[in-house]
Amino acid sequence: MPVRSRLRPVQGRRLLRLRRAAGLPRPWPTAIWLTHALRHHPGVVLVRLAGDAPDGELRDGGAGPDPGGGATGPGPAHAAGRPREGLVDLVADALRNPLAVLQASVEAAERTLDAGAADRGTADRVERHLRRALAQTERLAALVDGLLELARQLEGPGPSPPAPARALAEAVARRLAGLPEVNGS
Amino acid sequence: MTSAEDRPCRTRQQPRGGIAVVDDEPALCEVLTEVLTAEGYPTRAFPSAQACLEAIAAGYRPGLLFVDLHMRGLGGAEFVRRVRALPWGATVPIYIVSGALLEQDSPVLRTVDGVIAKPFRLGDILAAAARHLGEPASQARPTATPA
């Protein structure tokens, strides 16, 4: 079910200003806040994309060369080092955390079954791992819904978002999809 | 994982402590604690860097730490810096476990033993544990004995 924002972008912009006026250190304090924002206030995220993303964020988080080509693991760009504070970094962290739990839970269930003991304790452990995995799929689905809603707002009727916002959104989408970066236009 | 293979194994001088998982993702703490404990590694999970620092101040001495970067409150990079500043923490093995996008020129990278990217395979975690803490008791193979 698509997630509908109850906030219009202008309200989101006002919220962002309020956060700043309140002296909050970062407009995107945690991945969890981002998850909440994507679910309930995609307009705020839109404002962030449209008006507040500095050029450096776009360069660092989306359109720049992938610094992590040699890293192991299934995810892109993990060569290690400085954590980046941009939206792309937070989205990546927000998505990869439930993915990590999902993968670890399924592997843990597999290991438990491989251990061979078919007792009640084994069944309970496997059930717990699978329940945890299922919870992560729901969490991922909500995140993806939020990102889709964000994309819908960017693509929807009305005036087109500013070019930097579109470029950032495309960079986010490409990175999330694991597609190669596009340099230049 | 990066850079861990390039570093000497420091834990030969370390007392064999348990494993500390420092991550504000409760489900990940839960599954890692369960798996590592089942494998024979005593493991404690901390929902924040501050909680782990408090335990260390109270005398907790893990033999290996898995640390997230993005956490509420004290971040992983600052946590590593503070641990490294302690006499005990200068050589304790620390792995960053993060879903963040990272760059190679980070100062924190020079002070940790490796980076495990989320999502990871449990084998990566267990390999790091075995490398620094040795095979757990539950996995140790008995030496051959004459019949």
Tell me if B103 and A88 make a contact (CB, 8 A cut-off). Answer: no
Find the range with the poorest average confidence among A10-19, A92-101, A159-168. A10-19
Average pLDDT estimate for A74-91? 51
As a three-state string, the secondary structure of chain A is: CCCCCCCCHHHHHHHHHHHHHCCCCCCCCCHHHHHHHHHHCHHHHHHHHHHHCCHHHHHHHHHCCCCCCCCCCCCCCCCCCCCCCCHHHHHHHHHHHHHHHHHHHHHHHHHHHHHCCCCHHHHHHHHHHHHHHHHHHHHHHHHHHHHHHHHHHHHCCCCCCCHHHHHHHHHHHHHHHCCCCCCCC
Q: Which two tokens stand for residue B101?
A: 């996008």
pLDDT of residue A185: 40
* Chain B contact for A104 (CB, 8 A cutoff): yes
Q: Per-residue pLDDT for B100 more than 70?
A: yes
B8 or B121, greater pLDDT: B121
Kindly provide the ipTM of the predicted complex, given to two decimals.
Answer: 0.77
Please name the member of A93, A95, A132 whose beta carbon is closest to the beta carbon of B27: A132
pLDDT of residue A104: 94
Q: Which of A33, A96, A131 to mutate to test the interface with B (most CBs of B within 10 A)?
A: A96
Model pLDDT for residues A60-80, shown as the tens digit of each residue: 222 233 333 333 333 333 333
Model pLDDT for residues B46-94, shown as the tens digit of each residue: 999 999 999 999 999 999 999 998 888 899 999 999 999 999 999 999 9
Q: Per-residue pLDDT for B108 more than 90?
A: no
Tell me if B101 and A89 make a contact (CB, 8 A cut-off). Answer: yes
Q: Per-residue pLDDT for A54 more than 90?
A: no
Confidence of residue A43 (pLDDT cuts 50, 70, 90): low
Tell me if A78 and B124 make a contact (CB, 8 A cut-off). Answer: no
Touching B: A residues 20-59, CB under 8 Å: 29-32
Q: Which residues of chain B does A72 touch, with a Cβ-Cβ cutoff of 8 Å?
A: 1-2, 117, 124
A92 or A29, greater pLDDT: A92
Find the range with the poorest average confidence among A26-40, A42-56, A88-102. A42-56
Average pLDDT estimate for B126-140? 82
Please name the member of A89, A96, A108 whose beta carbon is closest to the beta carbon of B118: A96
pLDDT of residue B63: 95
pLDDT of residue A77: 35
